Chains A and B, each alone.
Chain A
Amino acid sequence: RKEVEQDPGPFNVPEGATVAFNCTYSNSASQSFFWYRQDCRKEPKLLMSVYSSGNEDGRFTAQLNRASQYISLLIRDSKLSDSATYLCVVNRGLNYGGSQGNLIFGKGTKLSVKP
């Protein structure tokens, strides 16, 4: 199983739609979770952290299911400007003192919102 897995998409949705992405991770010791957004030909930028109880930021809702080791991102009322690639990011666990820093980036899910 890959450390972080995401459906690459693309997800093509009309404006105003609700869309959800899932991400699974393999390390049960992981404790920090994030969603990043990457626009075409731009650098990744933090969208939101994911907390154990779930959290919401405007139209965006993030959920964490530790038992099943997956994270989700829900986008309501999609806008054209939401078109981007969404990266799931997981840390390796606080006791991990080894390589590759401590964050693992998924390959991303591409979202395209159409008028």
Chain B
Amino acid sequence: GAGVSQSPSNKVTEKGKDVELRCDPISGHTALYWYRQSLGQGLEFLIYFQGNSAPDKSGLPSDRFSAERTGGSVSTLTIQRTQQEDSAVYLCASSSNPTDTQYFGPGTRLTVL
């Protein structure tokens, strides 16, 4: 079946602009995660959605970052007023439940000039 998809695959933007990243999880997966990975670094947790529960936003680095998940499926991660330090690969993952294997999308490589 189809895996996790993300769009765009690459995004180049100017400092100060807003960007929106999209994630389509595996159908039926109730848990959805956003991570950020800078070059040569480990995964940095950003936000977690589980079913209809309130999302866990504890990993968002600043109030410029927000995410939503509509209808329990597609999720968008929005970064407002982008800064150069926001440049990274943004990875989305989904799982059938919080304790199960997470399946990752190919990521969106964001470059802020």
Specify the chain B residue showing the minimal Cβ separation from A42. Answer: B106
A58 CB–B CB distance under 8 Å:
no
The interface residues of chain A, by DSSP majority, are classed as loop
A101 CB–B CB distance under 8 Å:
yes
Per-residue 0/1 for A65-88: is the Cβ within 8 Å of any B Cβ (1 yes, 0 no)? 000000000000000000000010
Q: Which residues of A contact B106 (CB under 8 A)?
A: 42-43
Contact A101 B98 (CB under 8 A): yes
Q: Known interface pairs A44-B104, A45-B104. Does A102 touch B98 (Cβ–Cβ under 8 Å)?
A: yes
Contact A101 B101 (CB under 8 A): no
Q: Which residues of A contact B99 (CB under 8 A)?
A: 31-32, 91, 94, 102-103
B43 CB–A CB distance under 8 Å:
yes
Of B56, B104, B105, B107, the contact of A99 (CB 8 Å cutoff): B56
Specify the chain B residue showing the minimal Cβ separation from A102. Answer: B98
Expressed in whole angstroms, the Cα–Cα distance for A103 and B96 within the complex equals 13
Contact B58 A99 (CB under 8 A): yes
Expressed in whole angstroms, the Cα–Cα distance for A41 and B41 within the complex equals 11
Q: Which residues of B contact A34 (CB under 8 A)?
A: 101
Contact B103 A46 (CB under 8 A): yes
Expressed in whole angstroms, the Cα–Cα distance for A36 and B85 within the complex equals 27
Contact B56 A103 (CB under 8 A): no
Of A31, A94, A101, the contact of B48 (CB 8 Å cutoff): A101
Residues of B within 8 A of A (CB): 31, 33, 35, 41-43, 45, 48, 50, 56, 58-59, 89, 91, 95, 98-107
Contact A99 B42 (CB under 8 A): no
A-B contacts, 15 of them at CB < 8 A, read A31-B99, A43-B104, A43-B105, A45-B104, A46-B103, A87-B43, A98-B56, A99-B48, A100-B45, A100-B59, A101-B45, A101-B95, A102-B98, A103-B95, A103-B102
- The smallest C-beta distance from A31 to any residue of chain B, in angstroms, reads 8
Specify the chain B residue showing the minimal Cβ separation from A107. Answer: B42
Q: Which residues of A contact B35 (CB under 8 A)?
A: 105
Q: Which of A34, A45, A91, A105 has the most CB of B within 10 A?
A: A105
Shortest Cβ-Cβ A-B pairs, 7 listed: A107-B42, A102-B98, A43-B104, A99-B56, A101-B48, A99-B58, A105-B43
